[in-house]
Amino acid sequence: MPVDFETHEPGNPRVDLSEGTNARRLLEFLLQTPTVGYTPAELAEETTVPRGSVGPTLNRLEAAGLVRHKEPYWAAPEDDRIAAATAAFLGVETVASTYSDDWYAQNDGWAEELPDLSDEE
């Protein structure tokens, strides 16, 4: 992935979890069974992430604290807060993409059309 060379800082644990990325596919799979460890070969087979991309992607996820590693196995993080935050992020992104073309998304002033009930008793 190309980066802005002037602002890039090596070791930056930021991971792109956008829909369709290898990181997203691996993390979603690992979060389904957080207590089970998988080898890179098993993860490649289960997620269809190319075998040559699994290792580097898992290393980035580990640097960001999003997965854990016990040679040769990889698993979802032990810390429930990380798993919950990641799941919440993925859920919000899924909802946003699912409903991004509904009536509310296409009508910026939709909230202005609602009656103000705050003063009524």
Model confidence pLDDT, tens digit, residues 31-47: 888 889 999 999 999 99
Q: Where are the domains of the chain?
A: 13-97
Q: Which fold has domain 13-97?
A: Arc Repressor Mutant, subunit A (1.10.10)
Question: What confidence tens digit (pLDDT) does each residue in 86-116 have?
Answer: 677 777 777 777 766 666 666 666 555 555 5
- Segment 15-43 mean pLDDT: 91
pLDDT computed for residue 22 by the predictor: 95
The average confidence (pLDDT) of the chain is 80
pLDDT of residue 68: 93
Stretch among 57-61, 67-71, 100-104 having the lowest mean pLDDT: 100-104
The amino acid sitting at 114 is: L
| 120 — pLDDT class (breaks 50, 70, 90) | low
Q: How far is CA 39 from CA 25, 33, 54, in A?
A: 15, 14, 10
- What single-letter DSSP state applies at residue 78? S
Q: What is the spatial distance between Cα 14 and Cα 7, in angstroms, rounded to a whole number?
A: 13
User: Six-digit token pair at 56?
Assistant: 């580097």
Residue 102's pLDDT is: 65
pLDDT at residue 74 is higher than 60: yes
